[in-house]
Structure 1
Amino acid sequence: MAPQRAIPERGTASLSSSIEDLRNRLEQLVEELAGERDEFQTSPINGRIYPAASIDYLNDSGLVQGGSSPSYWGSLWSLTCCKHKMRQEHFFDYFEEVEPGVLHPTQPLFVFTCAGKTDSDTPDWAAGRERWLTSVALVTHAFKGMDDYGRFLLQQDEAAWKDRITTQESSEETSWARKKGDCHAIIEDGEVVGVDSPYPEHDHVSSSGTSSCGCSTTVNPEYDHVYHEDNDTSILKFASTSNYWLSWSKPQFYWTVGNGPDFVGGGQGTVAYRKSSESQTDTILSELRSAL
């Protein structure tokens, strides 16, 4: 079985399973970021729903992550692998380049991530529901290159980058990063010196639907890759710093229909209900209409 890690609970311990409570908290995040950045406007607010097939619910473990995106480790949320078309630069005209390769949003962008598996365990109260809201992140940073993202990671605590840098030397401590990391920058003596494709053991599926990112020509025998789609600089790499994302370790909200992917990330019309059995007539997006 592929390795999995429990998704940490972050910023949700004091929230009820009320959509109203969630909406209020997201509005607070927007106001807080606006208070930190002069260029950031509180509206319009943009949202994407990301069904992550690598997220599952297990009765004995809660919500678990078995893939590289999003990454939740070290108090940082990041989405830099997968959903390439959703993250293509031309979709986002509300990012401002504050230094080469580093961008800040000028309008709020929330990424709602839900479990995408259809064979998850089911809590007693859930009656067959399987697709859970696992995190909501207000994007605070975007990067063009994996080297730009790597430099940002090195400015964070070690816990933020040690499980993300895929190109580290092999050891027990780096096994998760080499297989499930989301940053393909080359680090030498604490500095970013370039970008490369991850090792063949990296557990990622390309848009071509093949393992090892669809590459068929060997340039570096150690890597067995010629090109890696994650490294495309026209595909923005998203991050949310510690105060601006929420996650659940146990199911609270569920999607009921059709969260398959589409060209901007999937599920815009997906119906999503709160945990309570009451008032299940509105979607999360309609209930959050004052914020989205």
Structure 2
Amino acid sequence: MTLNEGRPFLRSEARHLSDGQLRRGYRALFHGVYVRHRTPVGDLELAEAALLVAEQGSYVSHHTAARLLGAVAPDHPDVHVTSRRLRVKGAGLTGHRAKAEQQVVLWRGIRMTSPVQTFLDLAHCLTLVDLVVLGDSLVRRRRTTPDELVSATRARRGPYSRLARRAAALVRAGVDSPMETRLRLLIVLAGLPEPEVDHRVHDDGGTLLRRYDLSYLPFRLIIEYDGRQHAESDEQWLSDIGRDEALDDEQIRRLVVVSRDIYSTPANTLARITRAMRRAGMPVPRLRHEWRRHFPSRSGDLALPA
């Protein structure tokens, strides 16, 4: 191996370097694995380094595979490696034992679990909401489709298989962000009608005019998540004004939800949504209790009936 390539390497492959040279010119990624100081280290380099200390035939998986795929999963400080016999050990590494028929692919030179397999594996680690966020993000990055996830989970048996099947059934195409997923799930888990995702309005020439995150267009109601604290530019501000005027012309009610509405005051948010639904003439069922498990309220939130 040529150390000038800037790739991770084992200490045993660089016996020509003294300990002093190693300290001055290189840094340790894991015990016994080094890389040049000036080499940028991201998820790909960490995955490559982790596989150097794992047994032959190992592959990265779980949170690490999700990050390499550009998907959204909760942060985890370790690199996750799956091995057939021995679990990888060491600071910064989490090991998993391989299961029968796990799907492994080569991704940018790294052996890792396939997108569908990554979804199935993380069903053992994530909540329902985080698993749907993962699925929506895999679909958004065109790594898989909702139908592929549903098909893969249909025959799944064993621990967490029911969770995987339910999460797969809730994955949708066209979801723009993790917070949009959470907003949709707050609505659905409360037992309210599921909104249409990613409705697009085009002009006669096919040019995209507007996109609605979540909508009930037969009732002229749209619900959108806004992650901005203010207009990002004059152009964006003018675009928002034009869109709002178009909605007014079409007599469409736009209900905007921000981060705290989901994380801090979900009960108040559901009250706003149900109120808007009733005003739009929608039938509103009695709320189910399940949303409370996934969206805990903080002090000052409204108390809604189950």
Normalised TM-score (structure 2): 0.21
Instruction: Choose 1 or 2 for highest CA Rg.
Output: 2
Normalised TM-score (structure 1): 0.22
Q: Which structure carries more strand by proportion? A: 1
**Quick one: higher RCO (CA 8 Å, sep 6+), 1 or 2?**
1
